[in-house]
């Protein structure tokens, strides 16, 4: 059965939020696919005493930057 579905590149973002040298993101965009970005916040980070509000602000801003880039 042949369908005319558009292929979608799914990029699961975990801790690697680099914008300029993120290989999976680059490959998904390069293949001219629609890109679905997934980021699952890990509750364990909120419980980690080494994390502060600065870390969460960085994550938020990084995700905004990636969405604006794509």
| Structural domain range at position 24 | 8-69
In a domain, 61, yes or no: yes
pLDDT at 46: 80
In a domain, 18, yes or no: yes
Is the pLDDT at 47 greater than 80? The verdict is yes
**Domains: count for the chain:** 1
In a domain, 2, yes or no: no
DSSP character at residue 32: T
Domain harbouring 57, CATH code: 3.40.50.620
Category of 32 on φ-ψ map: left (φ > 0), alpha (ψ -120 to 50) or beta: left
Separation between Cα atoms, residue 39 and residue 56, nearest integer Å: 13
| pTM (2 d.p.) | 0.64
Separation between Cα atoms, residue 23 and residue 6, nearest integer Å: 22
Is the pLDDT at 2 greater than 70? The verdict is no
Provide mean pLDDT across the span 3-31.
82
């Amino acid at each position: 059965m042949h369908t005319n579905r558009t292929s979608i590149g799914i990029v699961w973002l975990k801790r690697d939020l680099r914008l300029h040298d993120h290989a999976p993101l680059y490959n998904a965009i390069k293949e001219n696919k629609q890109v679905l970005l997934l980021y699952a916040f890990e509750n364990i980070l909120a419980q980690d005493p080494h994390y502060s509000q600065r870390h969460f602000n960085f994550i938020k801003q990084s995700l905004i930057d990636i969405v604006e880039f794509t």
